[in-house]
Amino acid sequence: MVHDNKMILKGLNVEELKSWCIDNNLSGFRADQIYEWLYLHGVNNPDKMGNLSKKCRDAIHNTQSLSTLKLISKTVSENKQTVKYLFQTTDSYLLEAVSMITESNRHTVCVSSQSGCNLGCDFCATAKMGLLKNLSAGEIIDQLIMIRRLSNTRIDNVVYMGMGEPFLNYSNVIKSAKILNNQKGFNISVNKITISTVGIVSKIKKFIQDEERFGLAISLNASNDNVRDVIMPINKKWSIQDLIEVNKSYVKKNKRKRITFEYVLMDGINSSSEDAIELSKILQSAKCKVNIIPYNETDGKYKRPSDGIINKFIKTLSLNNKNNNFQIMVRWSNGLDIDAGCGQLAITNNKGE
């Protein structure tokens, strides 16, 4: 990636940094030092990288740009626990990320992997933007570096559930996740990093084959193909049964880990007791987790069910979960008052000028 005729250093792993050092007649061990300054400490000014030689600092100044994003706005929820950040890339594309502090004082950040999205999920605000850009590994990482600096709080969990489909930007997403996991990067456990996909089966298979250990979530959102075809067009390529089959492959390879199937509950669409019974039958053989997410309303036609319908759905699903074959969780999204909940991230002015 190039900015102002300079390569972007942010997003490179240790091996790539070593190659850069060699190309610039620098000692290879400088790569580890630069890596720590960039990711562990989040420093963008080479002059503040104290243990680097002047020659190394000058090389960075002369050939490299360290920043990939600038902050455009910051919106804080009423309870002060959720903050939505609007960033702009150096080539003027906009994206959002969300910082959430839980009741247990854990800090979770929801990052974007693309500016916009082209998968057309009918209930998702981001889909209305279309796909504008795949974010680089550096742009993904910089969301976290800037949020960590602005919030002055250690990040405990990262979820790739912001704008975009992570598995349509597979290499940059995995690369960034490995930097987050690295002890000299963010030092976040693989169990605290979750990548969410609408169900790009070819990439899920690659994820399994690559033996990636990050958490994996699949947006299911329907108990049958007829409904899923309408609300998630990707289902016409990879059906619910395809997702169940790839889940079996995942479980076979990862004995102790489970895929989480996310189910956004929408009134009159997928929220009936019959839907709950049908969903339980689908998941009986899946050995998975299911995350029920009451819909976060945007300006569209979809609505959140009443609390009574939500509770009845969960109760029916639980009663039909024979032998506890799948684990049921419920996620009440934070930041709804600032449109920071799941599926609410969207920018009306798609490209900042």
Do the two domains 2-65 and 69-338 of this chain adopt the same fold?
no
| Tokens, residue 316 | 């029916």
Average pLDDT of span 17-21? 95
Q: Which fold has domain 2-65?
A: DNA polymerase; domain 1 (1.10.150)
pLDDT tens digits, one per residue of 131-182: 899 999 999 999 999 999 999 889 999 999 999 999 999 999 999 999 999 9
| Per-residue pLDDT at 336 exceeds 60 | no
| Per-residue pLDDT at 338 exceeds 80 | no
288 in active site: no
pLDDT tens digits, one per residue of 96-108: 999 998 878 899 9
pTM over 0.85: yes
pLDDT of residue 343: 47
Beta-carbon contacts of 261 under 8 Å, excluding residues fewer than 6 positions away, are 217, 218, 220, 243, 247, 283, 286, 288, 289, 290, 291
Average pLDDT of span 320-336? 79
pLDDT of residue 342: 53
Which sequence spans correspond to the domains of the chain? 2-65, 69-338
| Per-residue pLDDT at 345 exceeds 50 | no
| Per-residue pLDDT at 341 exceeds 60 | no
| Per-residue pLDDT at 208 exceeds 70 | yes
| Tokens, residue 173 | 């997403």
pLDDT of residue 334: 56
Can you give the chain as a three-state secondary structure string?
A: CEECCEEECCCCCHHHHHHHHHHCCCCCCHHHHHHHHHHHCCCCCHHHCCCCCHHHHHHHHHHEECCCEEEEEEEECCCCCEEEEEEEECCCEEEEEEEEECCCCCEEEECCCEEEECCCCCCCCHHHHEEEEECCHHHHHHHHHHHHHHHCCCCCEEEECCCCCHHHHHHHHHHHHHHHHCCCCCCCCHHHEEEEECCCHHHHHHHHHCCCCCEEEEECCCCCHHHHHHHCHHHHCCCHHHHHHHHHHHHHHCCCCCCEEEEEECCCCCCCHHHHHHHHHHHCCCCCEEEEEECCCCCCCCCCCCHHHHHHHHHHHHHCCHHHCCEEEECCCCCHHHCCCCCCCCCCCCECC
* Percent of the chain surpassing pLDDT 70: 92
Most confident region among 63-67, 211-215, 349-353 by mean pLDDT: 211-215
What is the rounded average pLDDT for all residues in the chain? Answer: 90
Average pLDDT of span 81-94? 93
| Per-residue pLDDT at 340 exceeds 70 | no
Q: Which of 36, 96, 139, 262 is catalytic?
A: 96
pLDDT of residue 133: 95
Half-sphere exposure of 352 (CA within 13 A, CB side): 18
Looking at the structure, give the CATH architecture of the domain made up of residues 69-338.
Alpha-Beta Barrel (3.20)
pLDDT of residue 123: 85
pLDDT tens digits, one per residue of 223-243: 999 999 999 999 999 999 999
pLDDT of residue 4: 53
| Per-residue pLDDT at 122 exceeds 50 | yes
Least confident piece of the model among 37-41, 75-79, 258-262, 290-294? 75-79
* CA-to-CA dists, residue 155 to 83, 104, 108, 241, 310, angstroms: 14, 13, 6, 36, 31
| Per-residue pLDDT at 115 exceeds 70 | yes
342 in active site: yes
